[in-house]
Amino acid sequence: MIRFGIAGFGLHAAKRLMPGFALAKHCRVTALSRRDPRKAQESARQFGIAQVFSSTAQLCASPEVDAVFVATPNSLHREDVLTATAAGKPVLCEKPMGLNAAECRRMVEAARRANILLGVAQVFRFEDSTAWLREHVAAGQIGKPVFARAEFSFPGVRQHARTWINDRNIAGGGPLADVGVHCIDTLRYILQDEVIRVSARTLPNSDFPDMEAAAALILEFSRGTLGTVLCSFVAEYRTPLELVGDAGILRAEDCLNVERPIMLELRRAGATVESATVSNRLAYAWQVDAFALAVENRAAFPAPGEEGWQNQEILDAAYRSMQSGQAENVPPVR
């Protein structure tokens, strides 16, 4: 049983991580850190967490912590991951892994030098809906993939509890960095292919002028698939995903959600030839259990730090494209 400490116990930890840990079979939470001591104690009482700290360094020093889940704001990920690796603790870092690819590279290289397991919390790799689509693409059910489309929008400019997501210095970007990275990673994972070039356009954010309110990306994959990613902090909530091949179509209207059942379809010649209804409610549990098993050397973790670094290379290229107005190449992570 792997004992996790959660660094940065805020909204995400309370809403998503702790319900996942409650369903996990190979790990549990024994410690948390939070900058506000009063809120830290409140969270510990609410979830029955024994150890409470005010810094990541203190949490990492605890002998009651076997692994660290970094859930702090994005601008703190680099130092928190480096702190965990220096303490010899395996570390699972929230997405996006850093503010830029250079930060991600430093994290990965530090973990390699210390021979410490580093993972990125791309939770949609652990969804039943994603697995179903990945298996069908790999089995050739739609032939050669031509188009791949993913969207993730929610109204998050004014009313979202994570107020820091509207501060570029802390978040690193707007909806593209926050949820667009989920779309990018999910398409890479389903297609088992890499993005080599990206073009991006945005809608301006009148409330926060240095942030995008919405973004549209064209992703060029190495085997010829054209992908599109749409993400927004102002549009209505939606997470559709569709893959169009030369022999069929795979689609789900609300593919990436973890709260409601998802209906998946395989269509050919205008008719549904196969369908399935799945639930993603265990995605967060499977994510932390998978990391726990990897810590115990019982299985490889499906989202190692290199994947977070590659996603950030794509994000960086997309933000360059927003400025240049041109397609930008994506450096491959070795």
Residue 248 gets the label, from left (phi > 0), alpha (psi -120 to 50) or beta, of left
Closest by CA to 253, choosing from 262, 266, 244, is 262
DSSP per-residue string spanning 14-60: IIIIHHHHHH-SSEEEEEEE-SSHHHHHHHHHHHT-SEEESSHHHHH
* Mean pLDDT calculated for residue range 165-188: 93
Task: Domain 124-280+312-329: give its CATH architecture.
Answer: 2-Layer Sandwich (3.30)
Average pLDDT, the chain: 95
* Mean pLDDT calculated for residue range 223-240: 96
* Mean pLDDT calculated for residue range 198-207: 89
Residue 103 predicted with pLDDT over 80: yes
pLDDT grade for 206, boundaries at 50, 70 and 90: confident
Q: Cα–Cα distances in Å, from 258 out to 16, 86, 177, 253?
A: 10, 34, 20, 13
Amino acid (one-letter) located at 286 = W
Residue 161 predicted with pLDDT over 70: no
Decide: 266 and 136 in contact? Cβ < 8 Å.
Answer: yes
Max intra-chain CA distance, the chain = 60
Give the start-to-end residue ranges of the domains of the chain. Answer: 2-123+285-299, 124-280+312-329
Verdict on whether the full-model pTM lies above 0.85: yes
Q: For the chain, what's the residue count? A: 334
Closest by CA to 177, choosing from 121, 220, 124, 232, is 232
Of 102-106, 164-168, 205-209, 318-322, the range with the lowest mean pLDDT is 205-209
Residue 191 predicted with pLDDT over 70: yes
Quick one: CA torsion of 55, 57, 63, 69, rounded to 10 degrees? 70
For the domain 2-123+285-299, what is the CATH superfamily, name and number? Answer: NAD(P)-binding Rossmann-like Domain (3.40.50.720)
DSSP-derived pairing of the beta strands 262-268 and 195-204: unpaired
CA atoms of 217 and 322, how far apart (whole Å): 10
CA atoms of 309 and 74, how far apart (whole Å): 14
